Structure 1
Amino acid sequence: MISYNDSPLTQLPQVSIPFDDLRRRMAEFSVKFDSFIERARKRVLEERNEYKARISEVHEEQRSTSAQVASLRSALSAHRNLVSREAAEKAEMNAQIDQLQTRHAAQQQTRDTLRQQIAATQSAIDHKLQAQREYARKLDGQARLNGPELLFWETYLGVRIEGAGDEGRIRVVYLFPPSSRKAKREATFELRVPDTTVGEYEVVYSRPRLDQDKVARVVRRLNETRQIGVLLKGMRGLFAEDME
């Protein structure tokens, strides 16, 4: 049988362990640890709540920012549309201004052209009036010279000069002696009188109808001499020849 009396284990000094103090300390540690855990838990809860609140604030800020961005985009789009519309209106106004300027320039050109035409027409009218006055003066002088001759033609040769219903024409009527077929024979022609001294006379009608080449030769002599007697004599000869 083994004896432990002489064993080193039995020879260790006896240690007095204060279990009560240890239990007290353990209890105090447990209280402190529980308090630490509770404080840590509260801090974690507070931090989590703060985090959630911060996250909510961030989300709210994001929503607000998104709303502001959408509003700014809408305002930018409206501004772009307004700028585009104003640009279109400006282009249209410029086009209308160009049209008005073109029309104004055309009207000015037309006005200048009309003024030139009016001035030219007025000048032509003045020249024509002057020529007509000169022609009337010459006709008046010629009438004084032709008066006795016309009276002779009317009295002794049966010639009558009358109006033809047109200011630019005169009618000349010849009365020929009666023949075996007709008791009274009459011939007539109408003469167009020029407006100026340089214009030409023209026989526009005759009854009975005469040879136009012969009439043209008589009128040509009239235009060359400007003597009415040449015409009356020549036309009477043509009518007399036609009535033979």
Structure 2
Amino acid sequence: MAVANASLAPSNPFSASASSRAAAPMSPQPNPLTQLPNVDFNFEELRQRMSAFTVKFDAFIERGRKRVLEERNEFRERLGELTEDQRLKSQSIATLSSATTTHRSLLAREQSEKEEMNTAIRSLENTHATHCKARDRLKSQIAQTQRQIDSKLQAQRDYNAKLESQSRLNGPELAFWETYLGVRLEGAGVLDRIKVVFTLEGGRAGGNGAGAGDREVWFELDLSHRDYEVRGMGRSGRDEGHAGGGEGAG
């Protein structure tokens, strides 16, 4: 480049070198503009390096494409798994929601049945308490009635004993009345009434009965009141008839 710059620089006609060059004959010199530099590009090595780079680049692209395909397939597979998992979870949520609704309905029904059972139990307890009170009252009444029955039975036994002891005394007295006084006592067929019969002898008596000419006069005495009352009277025999009913104090 220094040579080229020197050749391209303007010449001074007044310099000594210029005069000497002018005096000397002109010799041909190489022109740097017409000459190309001798450069060895080593195309074979460059081609080999480019081939190696192409192989590496193709391998890199292939690995990248495979990795992208694998990642895409893995993403799709993962997305499918997530979609299936979401579907299963949605089904599980729907099933659990249905089970929760059923469980709530069951709890509400059980609560209603529990309240009904509690109401029935309270009603039964009240009924049981009422029955217990009625039972105790009936037991008290039964005990009182039993005491009254025992008292009446004892009074009846005492009365029967008294009647039995009195009957031993009444027998001879009634026989005396019938034999010597002509008076006998009969039942009137009505409660608390007795029939008093007087026998008037008109002939010989046959056996224990009245004679053929005997006459009887009777009256019924009501014993249901404190003051006895005569409810009826009559006579039988030869002048058999009824004298009519009358009342009077005993």
TM range (shorter): 0.5 to 0.7
Q: Secondary structure at the match of 2:137?
A: helix
Letter in 2 for 1:119: A
- Residue 43 of structure 1 corresponds to which residue in structure 2? 67
Mapped partners of 2:87, 2:230: distance in 1: 105
* Aligned-pair CA distance for 1:48: 0.4
Identity of aligned residues (%): 37
Mapped partners of 1:141, 1:41: distance in 2: 143
Give 1:148-227 correspondences, 5 Å limit: 151=177, 155=181, 161-165=185-189, 168-172=191-195, 188-189=219-220, 191-193=222-224, 200=226, 206=232, 208=244, 210=246, 215=248, 218=249
Letter in 2 for 1:41: R
Residues 114 and 203 (structure 1), Cα distance of their counterparts in 2 relative to 1, 3 Å cut:
farther
Unaligned runs of 5+ in 2: 1-6, 10-31, 201-214, 234-243
Letter in 2 for 1:32: K
Mapped partners of 1:43, 1:107: distance in 2: 91
Of 40, 58, 69 in structure 2, the residue corresponding to residue 34 of structure 1 is: 58
- Residue 54 of structure 1 corresponds to which residue in structure 2? 78
Mapped partners of 1:169, 1:31: distance in 2: 150
Residues 12 and 201 (structure 1), Cα distance of their counterparts in 2 relative to 1, 3 Å cut:
farther
Unaligned runs of 5+ in 1: 178-183, 195-199, 219-230, 232-244
Letter in 2 for 1:151: W
* Aligned-pair CA distance for 1:120: 1.4
Mapped partners of 1:204, 1:62: distance in 2: 116
Of 133, 142, 159 in structure 2, the residue corresponding to residue 118 of structure 1 is: 142
- Residue 125 of structure 2 corresponds to which residue in structure 1? 101
2:192–2:224 Cα contact (<8 Å) kept: yes
Residues 206 and 25 (structure 1), Cα distance of their counterparts in 2 relative to 1, 3 Å cut:
farther
After superposition, the C-alpha distances for 1:142-183 in whole angstroms (9 at most, x for unaligned) are 97499469937x956xx66322335x4223256799xxxxxx
Letter in 2 for 1:101: E
Give 1:55-74 correspondences, 5 Å limit: 55-74=79-98
2:230–2:246 Cα contact (<8 Å) kept: no
Residues 44 and 206 (structure 1), Cα distance of their counterparts in 2 relative to 1, 3 Å cut:
farther
Structure with greater helix percent: 1
Letter in 1 for 2:93: V
Letter in 2 for 1:164: A
Provide the TM-score with structure 2 as the length reference: 0.54
Mapped partners of 1:92, 1:119: distance in 2: 39
Letter in 2 for 1:36: F
After superposition, the C-alpha distances for 1:88-120 in whole angstroms (9 at most, x for unaligned) are 444444444444433433333222222211221
* Aligned-pair CA distance for 1:60: 1.9
Letter in 2 for 1:124: Q
- Residue 180 of structure 1 corresponds to which residue in structure 2? none
Q: Secondary structure at the match of 1:18?
A: coil
* Aligned-pair CA distance for 1:20: 3.1
* Aligned-pair CA distance for 1:138: 7.0
Task: Please provide the CA RMSD for this pair.
Answer: 4.7
Of 2, 8, 14 in structure 1, the residue corresponding to residue 37 of structure 2 is: 14
Higher relative contact order (CA 8 A, sep 6+): 1
Provide the TM-score with structure 1 as the length reference: 0.55
**Radius of gyration: which is bigger?**
2
Mapped partners of 2:50, 2:229: distance in 1: 160
Q: Secondary structure at the match of 2:37?
A: coil
2:174–2:184 Cα contact (<8 Å) kept: no
